[in-house]
Structure 1
Amino acid sequence: MFEQTTGRGRRREYCTVECRRHAQREREGRLSQQPSHSPLGRPLAEDLQALAAGLLTAEYGGLGLEKLLRLARELAKEVECYTAAAVHDARAAGSGWEKVARAAQVSVPTARLRWNEKQVVRMMHRRAARQPLIGVAAAEGQNSGDPEQPAVRASQRLASALSHLHRASGLTIREVAERTGLSASYVSRILSGERMPSWSVTASLARVFDGEADHLSALWASTHEVTHPTRHPFPRQLARLQDALRGQYLAAARPDPSHLCRIRPGVLTPEIVEDLLSGEEVPDWDTTGAFVSALGGWPADIRPLWEETHYAFLMWLQSAPGGTRTETGAGNDEDDNPPTGCSPPR
Structure 2
Amino acid sequence: MGLSKVPGKVDVAVLGAGLAGSSAAKALADKGWETLLLDRQTFPRHKVCGEFLSPETQSTLQALGISEPVSGLGHCEIERIKLIFENGAETEIELPARAWGLSRYVLDEGLHQAALHAGAVLQTGTAVTAVRTTDRGYLIETKQGSEMNVFEARAVIGAWGANQRAGLPGYQRQPAGKAAYVGVKSHFRGVKMEPIVELYFFRGGYLGLCPVEGGVVNASALLERGTAANAGKSILSIIYGAAQRNAKLYEKLKDAEPVPGAQAAVAPVYLNRKPVAWDQLPLLGDSATMIPPLCGDGMSMALRSAALCVPLADRYLRGQSSLGQWQQDYARSITEEFRGPLRWGGLLQRVVEMPALAACLPHAARLAPGAARALIQATRLKPFPM
Q: TM-score, normalised by structure 1?
A: 0.21
Higher-Rg structure is 1
The structure in which a higher percent of residues are strand is 2
